[in-house]
A and B are shown apart, each in its own frame.
Chain A
Amino acid sequence: MLTHARAYAVIGLDAIPIEVETYVSEQDGAGAFTIVGLPDKALQEARARIRSAAAAAGLLIHKAVILANLAPAEVRKEGAGFDLPIALAVMAGFGWVNQDMLGEVAAVGELAFDGRLRPVPGILSIAEAAVRDGHSTLLCPEQCAHEASLVPGCRPIGCATLREAVRILNGEDLPRPVVERQPRVAQPVPDLVDVRGQPSARRALEICAAGDHNLLLVGPPGVGKTMLAKRLPGILPPLDDEQALLATRIHSAAGVLPDGSGLLRSPPFRAPHHSATTAALVGGGSKIRPGEVTLATGGVLFLDELPEFRRDALEALRVPIEDGSVRISRASGSLVLPSRFALIAAMNPCPCGSPDAAACTCSRERVQAYQRKASGPLLDRIDVGVHLARPAPEVLRNDRPETTLQVRERVLSARAFQAARGFVNGRIPVGRLDELAAPDEQGQQMLDQATTRLMLSPRGVHRIQRVARTIADLAGEIEIGSDSIAEAISLRLGSLT
């Protein structure tokens, strides 16, 4: 007997519908179970899980001949999320599940040998696709029900076991209400007030948060580069509804959404290790998975020890930074993922990382090679640079750090000016700069002087204009005066060396 179930395959951030067709014959008695339609290894092994889970539910299927086909046949299907739809279709073939009811729902979930359902990644993408296709009811593991319920129009039915799913489809049980899962621990974002003795670096961080500028921190180990970077998400504006849904979908598809976190409202912070591969950074791999640039969307990508990253990995970052999106091409197809984030890179002044320039043991050539490695592909993309030194006692004494909340107030009001103009300052197109970020007369004079003296490229001048616009916005000034230009130049100087 032929039966059907509706499943979804997650590809990148999207899910596409997969029709599960099964043929069950109890007469043949040879006990063969075959899955066709480009299944991967995990999906092949679904046969063992389904047999065992069915047995746990009191239904023996191991003597029957079972064929399962996943259509369309040319799409690669990966992972254990197909366990539940295949199991339900098989059981419909035995007449244990109402095929009419099964035809009304979409199903996803991994089976354990004892019949329990295990959560799978990508629920949000699947729920969105299911609603789009007119399947508002999604049968899923109970742990995933809350995540699916974030999608408007989706009615998830969370089940603990295969047996429960069967009983609900047959009308023997009522679906249980979706329980909002409590986040295990709400991680507090560390506060900017902790960073003492680095007033200019804090100021640079604020400017970057206010205008979406990329930041380079240069300084010996232990001066607070990582501390600063970790505090950037706190002063960034919280994600709006659309951004939050996107960020949650990305994390769900990558399988890194913390259990029960609900919609991600705070900007993500991603800090890949410098040994990360190109695929890990920009996405891809044999399975197409979102990379760090996509996971950081709406938040912060922090590259500590910038020159230690692999050259090809840094090269691969250029396009995602410039375009705000990344195209991943594989044999199985190509897709475009978002990659819009604030970049913070950090590096030591020299490879030995000695805390003091006087104690440095690096040769000049080594220092140059080290700095060149960072500068080649990325420095061009960085608007703001600061040098951090070990704070002098008199700076520590006089420093009165502001809290994250105080700084965020200013960032939000600066962002409001930008929203009114239609562009975040860091992304004002070159063609609109003269209209949206033109300095006043004195500012222009200073910019001209800097252009000649520092031999700035046109791109360098544009970067200064954008940063100066942000500085003026932070001060609530409509005109970009010479003070704003001057500060933007000094932040540019920091990224040149």
Chain B
Amino acid sequence: MTVIEFGSREYPERLCDLANPPDRLFVRAPVDAERLRVLLAPPLVAIVGSRSASVAGVAFARRLAGELAASGVGVISGLARGIDAGAHEGALERGGRTVAVLGCGIDRDYPAATMPLARRITSEGAVVSEYSPGTPPAPFRFPERNRIVAALADATIVIEAAVRSGALITARLALDLGRDVLAVPGAPWTSGSGGTNALLKDGALPLTDIADVLVALGIDPGTARVGDPEVTGPAAKVLAALRREPVSADVLAARCGLTPAGAAALIVQLELDGIVVREADGRLVPTR
């Protein structure tokens, strides 16, 4: 474990922008101060959102984080399940930088749902907290933790958040610090879009493409395009139908005039390419 005291040379400068900067940061071994400085170097974005996000939302977080990582942008988040976990995983998948800020002591295995991910971040990224080892998780510590997430990042990205949510707290804190906030717009009838749409009304930047993030960070998006696998033939027809409305495989087959076997084959290829994800209720949702 490494401890970085407020006022020391290694202490991240950006935290000093906070009205109440943490007294010290605890960093889970084997990461040392030097490595943490590299991981926290700009450009760095926070990606936050709902814990009970849709499968499509998590898939988007993952893909966005991955593409940002490939463009050299680090990803910071809170290790919660849902959007947070998707963002960390996406960054790790592309060999990018990622840092998790906990709302409890760094020696606690919390949250349990993301323990395997926490182990990966420990060895390939960094796990930090302002709380001394042994501090248990508590509801009031998570908003407190969010100020660190907001302060360390150049910009905060919100994907799927309810009107009252921790992700929105992070976004407001980022605005207070004068950092950019980007929000993914959602249809008003979907559950995870209340918070992000509220942010957009308050002046957050709409995020529909990785280029939006890169522009906000001052990076030329022209060099950072990631090519989508091209969808042609019958798969294109299926994808178009799902873009009109996400439906179950049976409905899709009925709409496109396919047999269950034929539809399954096309859907699986789209799923394997990450273009379509399957929600818990069986609906197939395009991710792009």
Same complex:
yes
Bound-complex Cα distance A446 to B255 (A)? 26
Bound-complex Cα distance A364 to B82 (A)? 13
Bound-complex Cα distance A394 to B250 (A)? 10
Bound-complex Cα distance A203 to B249 (A)? 12
- Nearest neighbor of B268 in chain A, beta-carbon distance: A486
Report chain A residues within 8 Å CB of B274: 453
Listed stretches B145-153, B169-177, B259-267; interface member: B259-267
Report chain B residues within 8 Å CB of A399: 254
Given contacts A486-B268, A489-B268, contact A199 B280 (CB under 8 A): no
- Kindly state whether residue A246 has any CB partner on chain B within 8 Å: no
- Kindly state whether residue A198 has any CB partner on chain B within 8 Å: yes
Interface string of B236-266 (1 = CB under 8 A from A): 0000000000011111011100011111111
- Kindly state whether residue A34 has any CB partner on chain B within 8 Å: no
Bound-complex Cα distance A490 to B249 (A)? 10
Are A487 and B261 neighbours in the complex by a CB distance under 8 Å? Answer: yes
Bound-complex Cα distance A107 to B250 (A)? 60
Given contacts A203-B260, A399-B254, A487-B261, contact A453 B272 (CB under 8 A): yes
Are B282 and A199 neighbours in the complex by a CB distance under 8 Å? Answer: no
Q: How many A-B residue pairs have CB under 8 A?
A: 78
- Kindly state whether residue A391 has any CB partner on chain B within 8 Å: yes
Bound-complex Cα distance A394 to B111 (A)? 43
Bound-complex Cα distance A482 to B266 (A)? 10
Given contacts A483-B265, A486-B265, contact A200 B280 (CB under 8 A): no
Are A497 and B250 neighbours in the complex by a CB distance under 8 Å? Answer: no
Interface string of B172-206 (1 = CB under 8 A from A): 00000000000000000000000000000000000
CB distance from A481 to the nearest CB of B (A): 9
Are B264 and A490 neighbours in the complex by a CB distance under 8 Å? Answer: yes
- Kindly state whether residue B114 has any CB partner on chain A within 8 Å: no
Are A398 and B254 neighbours in the complex by a CB distance under 8 Å? Answer: yes
Given contacts A387-B282, A389-B248, contact A395 B261 (CB under 8 A): no
Bound-complex Cα distance A180 to B158 (A)? 77
Bound-complex Cα distance A450 to B265 (A)? 13
Given contacts A199-B260, A357-B281, contact A391 B52 (CB under 8 A): no
Given contacts A471-B261, A487-B261, contact A392 B251 (CB under 8 A): yes
- Kindly state whether residue A491 has any CB partner on chain B within 8 Å: yes
- Kindly state whether residue B123 has any CB partner on chain A within 8 Å: no
- Nearest neighbor of B253 in chain A, beta-carbon distance: A199
CB distance from A103 to the nearest CB of B (A): 65
Are B250 and A486 neighbours in the complex by a CB distance under 8 Å? Answer: no
CB distance from B287 to the nearest CB of A (A): 13
Report chain B residues within 8 Å CB of A392: 247-248, 250-251, 254
Chain A contact patch, size range: 20 to 34
Report chain B residues within 8 Å CB of A497: 278, 280
Among A180-230, those with CB < 8 Å from B are 197-200, 202-203
Among A123-171, those with CB < 8 Å from B are none
- Nearest neighbor of B254 in chain A, beta-carbon distance: A398
Interface string of A269-295 (1 = CB under 8 A from B): 000000000000000000000000000
Among A198, A203, A387, A482, contact of B261 (Cβ-Cβ < 8 Å)? A203
Are B282 and A389 neighbours in the complex by a CB distance under 8 Å? Answer: yes
- Nearest neighbor of B81 in chain A, beta-carbon distance: A364
Report chain A residues within 8 Å CB of B254: 392, 394-395, 397-399
Are A389 and B250 neighbours in the complex by a CB distance under 8 Å? Answer: yes
Report chain A residues within 8 Å CB of B267: 490
- Kindly state whether residue B271 has any CB partner on chain A within 8 Å: yes
- Kindly state whether residue A493 has any CB partner on chain B within 8 Å: yes
CB distance from B196 to the nearest CB of A (A): 21
Report chain B residues within 8 Å CB of A200: 249-250, 253, 260, 263-264
Bound-complex Cα distance A98 to B263 (A)? 76
CB distance from B89 to the nearest CB of A (A): 12
CB distance from B258 to the nearest CB of A (A): 10
Bound-complex Cα distance A449 to B272 (A)? 7
Report chain A residues within 8 Å CB of B260: 199-200, 202-203
CB distance from A232 to the nearest CB of B (A): 17
Report chain A residues within 8 Å CB of B266: 486
Bound-complex Cα distance A187 to B249 (A)? 35
Bound-complex Cα distance A223 to B274 (A)? 30
Among A444-497, those with CB < 8 Å from B are 446, 449-450, 453, 471, 482-483, 486-487, 489-491, 493, 497
Report chain A residues within 8 Å CB of B2: none
A residues near B, CB below 8 A?
A: 197-200, 202-203, 349, 357, 364, 387, 389, 391-392, 394-395, 397-399, 446, 449-450, 453, 471, 482-483, 486-487, 489-491, 493, 497
B residues near A, CB below 8 A?
A: 52, 247-251, 253-255, 259-269, 271-272, 274, 278, 280-282
12 contacts between A and B (CB under 8 A): A200-B264, A203-B261, A349-B280, A389-B250, A389-B282, A392-B247, A394-B254, A394-B255, A446-B272, A486-B265, A487-B268, A491-B264
A-B complex: 4 closest residue pairs judged by Cβ atoms: A486-B265, A486-B268, A490-B264, A200-B260
